[in-house]
Amino acid sequence: MSYKKEFIEFMVRAGVLTFGDFTTKSGRKTPYFVNTGNYKTGYQAAKLGEFYASCIRENIKGNIDALFGPAYKGIPLSVAAAIALSNKYDQDVNYCFNRKEAKDHGEGGSMVGYKLKDGDKVLIIEDVITAGTAIRECLPVLKAAADVEIAGLIISVDRMERGTQNKTAIQEIYDEFGITAYPIVTVREIIDTLHNVPVDGKVVIDDAMRARMEAYLEEYCVK
């Protein structure tokens, strides 16, 4: 089983990938939703880190100085990915993350973990991008910490939706900042993997759900 197929089934079992009626942060009515906040066990965190590590190893060439996890959901993701890279691939990578509000006592500042240095290659670890807002918010934080090079962006699912204009959020991030995003899976891979295929005896994307998802892709996604 490929790590992509395994990851899709893992999300379903964890209650992270769900199907029904939802509203995204951007206000769109969607028949499916990805909520990484539903991961809650040590086993899930360990497995999740392995999926991110597999995606990193497949797509990122050369050394990485640090994994950065934007607060809040990116924090456990970056830590889990760093642990998996060390345990599974013997690749020891620093990690860091930001606070929503700068600390004015102790060591102070808004960053926690590895202290970024000029010239460091940093890989951003996120969950899902819809409009790219979180990335636009975290880039100034990174640049304020040091003159770093952004090596890429790893996300769990590419919803393939338009951002603020007629390109996907991932395309906009690349055009605006020159940052390439690498999803573990895309929504198209989710549909192709789960359509009429049971997970633990239950089909989550039957013909009716596929039709709803295809209609959503037709309205909001970039082909």
Q: What's the domain count of the chain?
A: 1
φ/ψ region of 125 (left if φ > 0, alpha if ψ in -120 to 50, else beta) reads: beta
Q: What is the pLDDT of residues 114-151, one digit of tens each?
A: 999 999 999 999 998 766 777 888 899 898 999 999 99
What residue type is assigned to position 134 of the chain? A
User: What do you get for the CA distance between the two ends of the chain, in Å?
Assistant: 27
**CATH number of the domain residue 56 falls in:** 3.40.50.2020
Q: Find the range with the poorest average confidence among 84-88, 161-165, 187-191.
A: 161-165
CA R_g for the chain:
18
Orientation of helix 169-177 relative to helix 133-145, angle to 10°:
30
pLDDT band at 168 (very low <50, low <70, confident <90, very high): confident
Question: Given a cut of 60, is residue 103 above it in pLDDT?
Answer: no
149 and 121 in contact (C-beta within 8 Å)? yes
| Residues involved in catalysis | 103, 105
114 upstream amide cis, omega within 30 of 0 = no
The answer to whether residue 107 scores a pLDDT higher than 60 is no
- Please write the tens of the pLDDT for every residue from 208-223: 999 999 999 999 887 6
For the chain, give the mean pLDDT. Answer: 91
Separation CA 142–CA 207 (nearest Å): 44
Instruction: Provide the residue range defining the domain that includes 21.
Output: 3-220
Written as six digits, the tokens of 169 are: 């959020």
Residue with tokens 């304020």: 144
Instruction: List strand residue ranges (DSSP E) for the chain, in order.
Output: 17-23, 29-34, 66-69, 94-103, 109-113, 121-125, 128-129, 149-158, 181-186
Torsion of CA 178, 80, 10, 54, to 10 degrees: 50
At residue 20, φ and ψ (nearest 5 deg) are: 160, -125
Cα–Cα distances (Å) from 39 to 43, 45, 222, in that order, read 9, 7, 29
Q: What is the Cα–Cα distance from 108 to 112, expressed in whole angstroms?
A: 9
Residue 9, Cβ neighbours under 10 Å: how many? 18
d(Cα 13, Cα 10) in Å, to the nearest integer? 5
